[in-house]
A and B are shown apart, each in its own frame.
Chain A
Amino acid sequence: MSAVIFFVAAIAAIAGAVGVITLKNPFYSVLALVCHLLALATLFLLLYAQFVAAAQVIIYAGAVMVLYVFVVAYVGGDDTSLRETTGALRVLAPIFAGVLLVELALAVLGSGLSAVDSHGARIGAGFGTPGQIGQLFLTTFLLPFELASILLLVAAIGAVALARRRRGIDLADEPVPPGLHAPRPAYTGTMAEGVGDRHAAVEPTERVGIAPGGER
């Protein structure tokens, strides 16, 4: 039974991965990756990693993929003008990947580790439960745990700093065309407003005026 589940999930995972790189529309690529992640979570369950499987479904297939879908919808998923890369890399890349696959397969099959050909060591009842993972995180791996939280904080701040509306760059580069008004005062929601820079926050309000199609 577990062999059947393994093969179904493995084929689904590989098919999802192939779909990510073959589908032309990035939106469908994201959906293929969601299928891939769900199949991978099934494989994790077969390996008695219940907590990681749940985290995979909730964090990856849930949160991260929703972020992808939002960005694809924002940027515009039309990939018709962006086909695959040209030149020598187009031919060489699959060859590289094939060589890498053969090398990895050789490394797995020729490793001489007898445990690779077994079903794995005997495991206790609590293997892979949140309790065991939490205990490891708070005892043996306390430093990686804290570093991971700092990394998440840095990434969140960095993403806000990268993607927010900037004063000097965006507005100077592209003046607002006549007839196209900002739907809300400029600087709304920026750092300048947050720290109480009233001058910056108030100054451009004369541009306010809701024009039809003024989404910007």
Chain B
Amino acid sequence: MDIGWYLVVSAIIFAIGVTGVLTKRNPLVVLLCLELMLNAGNLALIAFSRMWGNGDGQVFAIVVMVVAAAEVTVGLGLIVAIFRRRLPIDVDELRELQG
């Protein structure tokens, strides 16, 4: 398949992730949609890696996976801490830091 097809699939997945991040109120689902966006970026990186025929894009895809794992760990830790304090698990109501 042409590389362009992979990039179009990546763009579609990224747009779906953006929709989810903007419309969802449950922080768990927002994190899932962030994963979607990171994976779309990964797909584009690997498609470009195949396009140029060297492995740099794959290395960066693995680094993106590491960053995603770190983000998930901290985000889920925050959600557990929010749950422990009996605060509402709703990104529209957790706005005390808004200034």
Q: Does A210 contact B (CB under 8 A)?
A: no
- Given A3-B1, A20-B33, A136-B56: A48 and B73 interface contact (C-beta under 8 Å): no
**Nearest Cβ in chain B — how far from A135, in angstroms?**
9
| Contact between B51 and A115, CB atoms less than 8 A apart | yes
Interface positions, chain B 50-83, Cβ under 8 Å from A, are 50-53, 55-56, 58-63, 65-74, 76-81, 83
> Which range contains the number of B residues in contact with the other chain?
35 or more
| Contact between A21 and B62, CB atoms less than 8 A apart | no
- Given A30-B32, A33-B36: A162 and B53 interface contact (C-beta under 8 Å): no
Most buried by A among B2, B19, B33, B51: B19
| Contact between B26 and A49, CB atoms less than 8 A apart | no
| Contact between A101 and B15, CB atoms less than 8 A apart | yes
Please classify the interface of chain B as helix (H, G, I), strand (E, B), loop, or mixed, using the class held by over half of its residues. helix
Interface positions, chain A 98-140, Cβ under 8 Å from B, are 98, 100-101, 104-105, 108-109, 115-123, 127-128, 132-133, 136-137, 140
Residue of B nearest to A44 (CB): B46
Give the CA-CA distance A133 to B33 in the complex, in Å.
28
Chain A residues with Cβ below 8 Å from B39 are 36-37, 40, 60
| Contact between B58 and A155, CB atoms less than 8 A apart | no
Q: Does A18 contact B (CB under 8 A)?
A: yes
| Contact between A26 and B28, CB atoms less than 8 A apart | yes
9 smallest beta-carbon distances between A and B, as pairs:
A121-B53, A155-B70, A93-B22, A162-B77, A104-B11, A159-B77, A21-B20, A101-B15, A97-B19
Q: 19 interchain pairs (CB within 8 A)?
A: A17-B16, A20-B16, A21-B19, A51-B58, A67-B72, A71-B79, A79-B29, A84-B25, A85-B25, A97-B15, A104-B11, A118-B51, A121-B52, A132-B55, A133-B62, A151-B66, A155-B71, A159-B76, A170-B85
Known: A68-B76, A120-B53. 11 other contacts (CB 8 A): A17-B16, A29-B29, A49-B58, A56-B65, A59-B65, A75-B83, A96-B18, A115-B3, A144-B63, A151-B67, A151-B70
